[in-house]
């Protein structure tokens, strides 16, 4: 039975990249690349490299775990298991390298692959946002600032904003892939002493075989600022998802109910209140975003290792790297389903536009009065006092203004009525949306 929910409830295709089999396979991949580099430079027979490569295909996880139980060193357990599978050249396995030459280089391979998977999910997410932005660019709704009705906007603007942020996240993810795609083959303290003058060549060849770049300088490990940057990018993606999920949750409030996440025909909202339609998918995303964000602090702590290295990063990285990627992937997967089935309630959108009886058009009237010769500050104060009066008397702002000569002397009834149409006060919103979503 799974202990962690990322093994069951929140599992995705990302899990396969971080399980024990995948980790072992990546270690073996690096060992094979190391053997090939030694063979090319004449440090071992080509037959030895070939045998190591063939032997790597037959190393079993159970055997590695059994050896580890005896020697209490996971990487050396792999080295021993690989050596056992070699008939003649087992003594050449792991030649000149230290554990983290293998582990950190293998981690770079895994994280690079994980970023590739995440990018695919993020691209789908981006296209869903773009589709909504384009379809809803003229759907007028009320904007809210400080939780209060502000001025009219469009739903297209909301989605275009999120789309633009996601484009930045895609660029950040590209940068994260670049920063993590470095490996090392430099020995116990990074001096390459065990490679007897051929360290730079060996490291270059190994990374070439693996599709990575050689680190210019290391100590015993790849420096953890790289890993911290990757986790931070995941946290930023999670923050974007949380922002969208929170907006959907708020717009799904009973008294607002402009949009709602999908709700299956047999879905249950509450164990005791049959009528409930809780936005639990969006709430789950908001909850999980906190997990990834919290992991950034741990990733930052891992940067300051002592001297040429210590092991204080090792144990927590077994959690934070896999957990951050899997949880982020799950959040994206869920948000993609939400966006694909997102429901809109046009009648409530219209109702909320008119909820304040025209007060949301006060800015527009102020601008209209200013254009007719009234000072801007005078117009602002007039609209402020009239809005207070309309609220106190529960009257429409238009009715209040029609009783003010300083208003009607400048703007007649027909002109005022035209200015009170919220659908004619969205500025350049449709053009802004088009610019935002165009490549």
pLDDT at residue 273 is higher than 90: no
Q: Do 246 and 212 fall into the same domain?
A: yes
Reply yes or no on whether the pLDDT at 269 is more than 80: no
pLDDT greater than 90 at residue 3: no
If asked whether residues 410 and 434 sit together in one domain, one would say no
* Position 221 in a domain: yes
111 in the same domain as 60: no
Angle at CA 404, nearest 5°, toward 399 and 408? 90
To the query of whether residue 270 is one of the catalytic residues in this protein, the response is: yes
Measured between alpha carbons, how far is 171 from 406 in angstroms, rounded to an integer? 54
Place of tokens 């008397």: 393
- What is the pLDDT at residue 39? 97
Give the pLDDT of residue 266.
79
Tell me: the pLDDT tens digits for 109-159? 999 999 999 999 999 999 999 999 999 999 999 999 999 999 999 999 999
Between 250 and 262, residue with greater pLDDT: 250
Last residue of a domain, one of 60, 95, 130: 95
Q: What tokens does 57 get?
A: 């295909």
In this structure, are residues 186 and 203 in contact, taking their beta carbons and an 8 Å threshold? yes
Give 315-320's long-range contacts (Cβ < 8 A, gap of 24+): 317/227, 320/231, 320/295
Both tokens assigned to 165? 């942020």
Question: Looking at the predicted structure, is the pLDDT value of residue 1 above 70?
Answer: no
What is the residue range of 109's domain?
A: 99-260+276-355+427-439
Query: 439 in a domain, yes or no?
Result: yes
Cα–Cα separations (whole angstroms), residue 298 to 224, 291, 354: 11, 11, 48
- Tell me the two tokens of residue 356: 């304040």
What pLDDT band is residue 19 in, cutting at 50, 70 and 90?
very high
**Which CATH number belongs to the domain containing residue 79 in this structure?**
1.10.275.10
What is the H or E stretch that residue 141 is in? strand 140-145
Task: Report which of 190, 188, 197 is spatially closest to residue 218, judged by C-alpha positions.
Answer: 190
pLDDT interval class at 272 (50, 70, 90): confident
pLDDT in tens, 77-115: 999 999 999 999 999 999 999 999 999 999 999 999 999
* Cβ-contact 286, 239 below 8 angstroms: no
pLDDT at residue number 379 = 95
Does 313 share its domain with 164?
yes
Give 184-206 pLDDT, tens digit per residue: 999 999 999 999 999 999 999 99
In a domain, 3, yes or no: no
Which residue of the set 146, 271, 307, 438 is catalytic? 146
The tens digit of pLDDT for each residue in 194-244 reads 999 999 999 999 999 999 999 999 999 999 999 999 999 999 999 999 999
Q: Is the pLDDT of residue 275 over 80?
A: no
Mean pLDDT of 259-286: 84
Domain end, chosen from 30, 64, 95, is at 95
CATH of the domain at 380: 1.10.40.30
Q: Return the structure tokens found at 298.
A: 């741990």
Q: What six digits make up the tokens of 373?
A: 């010769």
pLDDT above 80 for 320: yes
Domain match, 89 and 103 both: no
Active site residue 26: no
Both 175 and 296 in one domain: the answer is yes
The domain that contains 247 carries what CATH number? 1.20.200.10
Choice among 8, 270, 371, 385 that is catalytic: 270
In a shared domain, residues 191 and 336: yes
Q: How confident is the model at residue 268 (pLDDT cuts 50, 70, 90)?
A: confident
The per-residue pLDDT of the chain, averaged, comes to: 95
């Amino acid at each position: 039975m799974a202990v962690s929910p990322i093994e069951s409830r929140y599992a995705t295709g990302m899990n396969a990249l971080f399980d024990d089999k995948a980790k072992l396979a990546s270690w073996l991949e690096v060992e094979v690349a190391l053997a090939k580099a030694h063979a090319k430079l004449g440090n071992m027979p080509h037959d030895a490299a070939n045998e190591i490569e063939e032997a790597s295909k037959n190393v079993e996880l159970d055997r590695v775990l059994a050896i580890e139980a005896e020697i209490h060193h996971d990487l050396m357990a792999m080295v021993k298991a690989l050596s056992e599978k070699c008939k003649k050249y087992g003594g050449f396995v792991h030649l000149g390298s230290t554990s983290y030459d293998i582990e950190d280089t293998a981690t770079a391979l895994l994280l690079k692959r994980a970023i590739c998977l995440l990018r695919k999910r993020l691209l789908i997410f981006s296209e869903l946002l773009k589709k909504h932005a384009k379809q809803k660019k003229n759907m007028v709704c009320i904007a809210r600032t400080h939780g209060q009705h502000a001025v009219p906007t469009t739903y297209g603007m909301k989605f275009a904003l999120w789309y633009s942020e996601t484009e930045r996240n895609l660029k950040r993810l590209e940068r994260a892939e670049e920063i993590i795609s470095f490996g090392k083959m430099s020995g116990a303290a990074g001096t390459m002493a065990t490679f007897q003058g051929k360290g730079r060549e060996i490291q270059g060849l190994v990374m070439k075989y693996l599709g990575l770049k050689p680190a210019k300088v290391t100590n015993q490990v790849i420096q953890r600022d790289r890993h911290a940057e990757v986790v931070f990018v995941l946290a930023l993606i999670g923050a974007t998802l949380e922002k969208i999920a929170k907006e959907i949750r708020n717009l799904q409030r009973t008294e607002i109910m402009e949009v709602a996440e999908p709700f299956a025909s047999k879905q249950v909202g509450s164990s005791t209140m049959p009528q409930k339609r809780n936005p639990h998918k969006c709430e789950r995303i908001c909850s999980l975003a906190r997990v990834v964000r919290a992991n950034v602090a741990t990733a930052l702590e891992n940067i300051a290792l002592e001297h040429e290295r210590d092991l204080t990063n090792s144990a927590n990285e077994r959690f934070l790297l896999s957990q951050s990627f899997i949880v982020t992937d799950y959040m994206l997967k869920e948000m993609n389903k939400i966006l694909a089935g997102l429901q809109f309630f046009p009648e409530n959108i219209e109702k909320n536009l008119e909820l304040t009886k025209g007060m949301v058009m006060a800015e527009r009237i102020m601008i209209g009065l200013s254009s007719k010769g009234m000072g801007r500050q005078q117009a602002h104060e007039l609209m402020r006092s009239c809005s207070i009066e309309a609220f106190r008397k529960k009257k429409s702002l238009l009715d209040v203004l029609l009783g003010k000569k300083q208003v009607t002397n400048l703007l007649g009834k027909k002109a005022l009525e035209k200015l009170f149409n919220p659908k004619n006060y969205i500025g350049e919103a449709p053009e802004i949306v088009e610019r935002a979503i165009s490549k």
